[in-house]
Amino acid sequence: MKRYLAAAAACCCAASLALAQSVVQPTGIAPRFPKAYKQLAQQTRPPSNNWLLDANDDAERFRRLQVAAGGTDIPMWEIAHRYEELYVAIQKSNWEMGVYHWEKVRDRLNTAGMKRPGRTQNIEALFLDNGAWSSMHDALTSKDRARMQQQFLAVRKACMGCHVAERVGFLNDSAVFTRTASF
Ligand code: HEC
Distance CA 118, CA 56 (A): 31
Q: How confident is the model at residue 4 (pLDDT cuts 50, 70, 90)?
A: very low
Q: Is 114 in contact with 48 (CB distance < 8 Å)?
A: no
Nearest CA to ligand 1 atom 21: 76
- Which tens digits make up the pLDDT trace of 76-97? 999 999 999 999 999 999 999 9
Distance CA 104, CA 77 (A): 13
Q: Which of 82, 159, 177 to mutate to test the pocket of ligand 1 (most atoms within 8 A of CB)?
A: 159
- Which tens digits make up the pLDDT trace of 35-82? 999 999 999 999 999 999 999 999 999 999 999 999 999 999 999 999
How far is ligand 1, taken at its centre, from the CA of residue 34, in Å? Answer: 28
**SS3 label, residue 54:** coil
- Which tens digits make up the pLDDT trace of 118-145? 999 999 999 999 999 999 999 999 999 9
Amino acid identity, position 35: K
Q: Give pLDDT, residue 13.
A: 43
Using CA atoms, how far residue 153 sits from 79, 132, 137, 161, in Å, is: 16, 10, 13, 12
